[in-house]
Structure 1
Amino acid sequence: MPSKKLAFTFAGLAAVCALLSYAASERVGGLRGSPTASAAARTPGPGYGSYLQIAGVQAMDYDAATKGARRDGDAWVLGDVDLEAVRAAAAAPEDLDRLAEADPRWIPTQTWKLRHGGASPFALAKEHCSARHLAQMEGMCKADLSVVVERRGAGEGHVVYARPTLGDDATDDCHAYADCIARNAWLDRPTPLPTGSDTYRAFQAGDIRLPMHGTREEWQTSLRAEIEVVSDNLTALRRLDLADPQMRQSLDLQQDLLEQLEWMASL
């Protein structure tokens, strides 16, 4: 396997899905890049925040979700935690990409953070938050979240704290979306952790939403093209050394993306 470090860059992926935001990983020779999204998906001006709206799916009401969650300023906290320790961890979140680069034991956790796709409860919550709060989008909605994981075992934990941070130019709708995903997408999600004795670990997770334009028919065409590309990439990846944890991560992310594309195409 080539030793040089490169990055997976799925051209047009954010425009096509407006759902996934992959951090740096390994590029594998022979993989195809995603085709550029249709012109309708890049038209300037107000657009939708989620493909759910384009497909005519009613946004889920999350007012009664995540029972037991409570406010801590701009953050959401869950369970009987050491609040001072959790706040301290959230104030200095670690870069999971760097941790995973230095120690392969972090790769499963990094993969979990990167997996914004699939038809998982995590991804579905993000989509419904977007459909509910980003009914019309003039521009990008970008947020950083400090996500604190409480260790529950030698190699696992779950999210007990999530605090979004947005720029000064963020709209009220963008703030509402980030608050919604902090509570309903991130809070209480299980996550793998390398073996250790620390009770809390905090990671920074970025979230980017781009306006989506066009008709359901135009997007269905784009989705079918993306499904073909990702299916070809999975075939190429399966020929490689999957004992390498970074190759395994690449395969997991592509499988996750395929699941999400197929879910969207089914709406």
Structure 2
Amino acid sequence: MFRTSGLRLPRPWTSPLRAGEMANERLRAALLERGATVAELAETIQVDAKTVERWITQGRTPYRKHRFAVASFLGAEETYLWPDALTPQQAAAVSESEIVTIYPHRWAVPRDAWGRLFLGAQREIGVLVYSGTFLAQDTGIMRLFAEKAKAGARVRILLGDPDSPEVARRGADEGIGDGMAAQVRLSLVLYQPLRRLEGVEVRLHRTILYNSVYRADDQLLANMHVYGTPAADAPVMHLRKVLGGGMVSTYVDSFEAVWANATPVES
């Protein structure tokens, strides 16, 4: 019989986390991306640094007021950092609060609403359309885009590639055939003065669009695309980003995905 008397057996390895706990890698990554330390975050939101460490290494969920403060400091979504913190009902209620108003048609959006949207932009203006000729023909909006670019905002315009099957199909759906491609080419001409400015970028995409998106920082107008209906007759939602909400982020992510695969238009 094997005797263990006098022998010291190795202790089994145990995780420093308690059962059911898991490190919050999203919070850790967001902190690194911000270039901030645990101590800086703790000081900003007025909690002990050890508390922040537990949020990261043990996956502890902070109180709601602390989640809001952390998300604000890191410029991240509360629901991204703690996806299980809100119930489905709470998440839906927060997202619904991002809706400012809904217009039954694009033509029903007051002209000054477009001006106020882009006038409030400090960092980012984004336009995702097939042609967007109505906007390119508005000299006041074009002047505003130029002023914002000169002030340091990034202005990005995404137009449909006039030679793409996606633009041809949208023209057919709206009943204007080759007219859609012609509108895109007109918009390219109208945007030409803007394209010479630093901070303004124009790209062509080959994407099936379900919405046109007009973005100014954390606000946007989303124009639905309805089969057989011109975009001007389709509904528009005015959205404003709210921490914890996901609607604006969904449209922004869509814009970035199209932008990443689009072709730059040479100045």
Q: TM class by shorter-chain length?
A: under 0.3
Higher relative contact order (CA 8 A, sep 6+): 1
TM-score (normalised: structure 2): 0.23
